[in-house]
Amino acid sequence: MSLLAVTSLNLHHGLLHAVRDLSLDVSEGEIVALVGANGAGKTTLLRAIAGAHRPSSGSISFGGVDITRLPAHRRVNMGIALVPEGRRLFTQMTVEENLLLGRMSGRIGNWTVDKVLETFPNLAARRSARAGTLSGGEQQATAIGRALMSNPSLLLLDELSLGLSPIAVDRLYESLRTLMQSGTTIVLVEQDLGRAMQVATRIVCMLEGRVVLEAPAANLAREQVTEAYFGLAPHRVPA
């Protein structure tokens, strides 16, 4: 049974049909990279899974439970955590205070402030600094750490490297390496196609709200993904 099952999902922004009859299954332990051009519907899909965007039709189930109409805080309690585009930190609060907010879900698990700082060592010296004074990479690490503090079964990462320098992205992915190898289930939106193909077990390419290519990353050449990305060869590659 899939950990996450999205079935015939339709999502709108007013009159804009952002996600069109989309179905997607994610198994426990997978790292699924959602790729596609701006406006493909990737962020809207993640927000719908997290409970921040109400579907027009279709369904979402998590662990075999229909969560389509559940509010976002209930989904956090069940083990879904979203790191949103733009990080959305409380800038006047310290790094530690932002991290501790993640514990409000009450889920039992191994993630603590010290474990987050061990995973992201560049934050250790900034523990008492206000989030608004952090670099972009430090803010992203804090946002991921806050999500991990809720001890999620499914981690949704939206635009992980957006706006960061190459050095900051390298540092961030190096810190996440252990997490990605630990069996944590991750759905990742990533503009850096090369990076996505390196870390993901499966690539899902979206175009105009639809899945146009889906296959294990190891079975795909970059050219295939690039063609699907730009709408030159929309198809699904068999597993």
pLDDT tens sequence across 97-146: 999 999 988 788 889 999 999 999 999 999 999 999 999 999 999 999 99
For residue 116 the two structure tokens come to: 């987050």
pLDDT band at 178 (very low <50, low <70, confident <90, very high): confident
For residue 176 the two structure tokens come to: 């996440």
With respect to residue 236, please indicate whether it lies within any of the assigned structural domains. Answer: no
Taking the C-alpha atoms of residue 37 and residue 205, their distance in angstroms, rounded to an integer, is 9
How many structural domains comprise the chain?
Answer: 1
With respect to residue 239, please indicate whether it lies within any of the assigned structural domains. Answer: no
Domain of residue 184 covers 4-229
The CATH number of the domain where 224 resides is what? 3.40.50.300
Taking the C-alpha atoms of residue 68 and residue 133, their distance in angstroms, rounded to an integer, is 37
With respect to residue 235, please indicate whether it lies within any of the assigned structural domains. Answer: no
Most confident of 43-47, 173-177, 192-196: 43-47
Q: Answer whether residue 48 shows pLDDT above 90.
A: yes
Q: What is the pLDDT of residues 50-63, one digit of tens each?
A: 999 999 999 999 99
| Phi-psi group of 106: left, alpha or beta (phi > 0 → left; psi -120 to 50 → alpha; rest → beta) | left
With respect to residue 215, please indicate whether it lies within any of the assigned structural domains. Answer: yes
